[in-house]
């Protein structure tokens, strides 16, 4: 007698197709409704520090494939320094500091979602300098399409403040922050579901609008996360 259950490969393709449809629909609708906001932010950046309005950078995507990520520019043109950014750095513009605090600089990544380089939810893509393609944990994390938000970035939304406590933010990021974020990414991916993704998106929006209400314990309870590193 034939097994009536759905073929695993077909089930996986249907799930991926559903997620992609959800991503494209939400990104398109979001860009449509946020168009006045995007225009206003562009004007603020131009008035504060001139052009360019957008900033792009190479990141490592799904299966190790590089792509260009887009953000609103929050640092002074031609700045130099660490790849990562700590709070209070002089290279961050006046408007840029506000955009970073509210995570509004990430809004142009909705175009990355439409293009297919990113998803709404998925491990945040890293710069090539921090990615170790030969290690098992990176191989596991990079099986997923990178996202605009994820559990790790939500719990580490005050990452820049943490990095500002170190004399060498790059060392702190490599030794402590990045390993913890990779562990969180892997934990989330192993038990990922569409309802959990929806809750994650809602929490992300909530703390972007009301950053002072940030509550890591509430995030863990809401998303059913266990003991975290």
State the Cα–Cα distance between residues 62 and 126, nearest whole angstrom.
Answer: 11
pLDDT of residue 81: 62
Cβ burial, residue 119 (10 Å; 0-12/13-18/19+):
buried
> What is the full per-residue pLDDT of the chain (229 aa) written as tens digits?
455 556 777 678 888 999 999 999 999 999 999 999 999 999 999 999 999 999 999 999 999 999 999 999 999 987 666 788 888 898 999 999 999 999 999 999 999 999 999 999 999 999 999 999 999 999 999 999 999 999 999 999 999 999 999 999 999 999 999 999 999 999 999 999 999 999 999 999 999 999 999 999 999 999 988 644 4
Within 10 angstroms of residue 70's Cβ, the number of other Cβ atoms is: 19
**What are residue 54's DSSP bridge partners?**
72
pLDDT of residue 8: 72
State the Cα–Cα distance between residues 193 and 60, nearest whole angstrom.
Answer: 24
pLDDT of residue 229: 40
pLDDT of residue 227: 45
pLDDT of residue 84: 84
pLDDT of residue 5: 58
Secondary structure, 3-state, 63-101: HHCEEEEEEECCECCCCCCCCCCCCCCCCECHHHHHHHH
pLDDT of residue 226: 64
Chain centre to alpha carbon of residue 53: 20
């Amino acid at each position: 007698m034939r097994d009536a259950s759905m073929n695993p490969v077909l089930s996986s393709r249907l799930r991926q197709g559903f997620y992609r449809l959800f991503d494209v629909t939400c990104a398109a609708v979001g860009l449509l409704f946020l168009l006045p906001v995007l225009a206003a932010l562009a004007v603020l950046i131009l008035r504060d520090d001139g052009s360019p309005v957008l900033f792009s950078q190479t990141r490592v995507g799904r299966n190790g494939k590089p792509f260009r990520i887009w953000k609103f520019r929050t640092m002074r043109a031609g700045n130099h320094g660490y790849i990562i950014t700590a709070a209070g750095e002089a290279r961050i513009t006046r408007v840029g500091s506000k955009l970073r605090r509210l995570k509004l600089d990430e809004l142009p990544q909705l175009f990355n979602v439409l293009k297919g380089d990113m998803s709404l939810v998925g491990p945040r893509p890293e710069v090539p300098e921090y990615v170790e393609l030969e290690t098992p944990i990176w191989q596991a994390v990079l099986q997923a399409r990178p996202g605009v938000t994820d559990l790790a970035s939500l719990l580490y939304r005050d990452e820049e403040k943490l990095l500002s406590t170190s004399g060498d933010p790059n060392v702190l990021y490599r030794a402590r922050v990045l390993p913890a974020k990779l562990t969180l990414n892997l934990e989330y991916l192993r038990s990922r579901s569409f309802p959990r993704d929806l809750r994650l998106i809602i929490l992300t929006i909530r703390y972007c609008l009301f950053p002072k209400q940030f509550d890591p314990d509430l995030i863990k309870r809401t998303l059913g996360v266990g003991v975290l590193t």
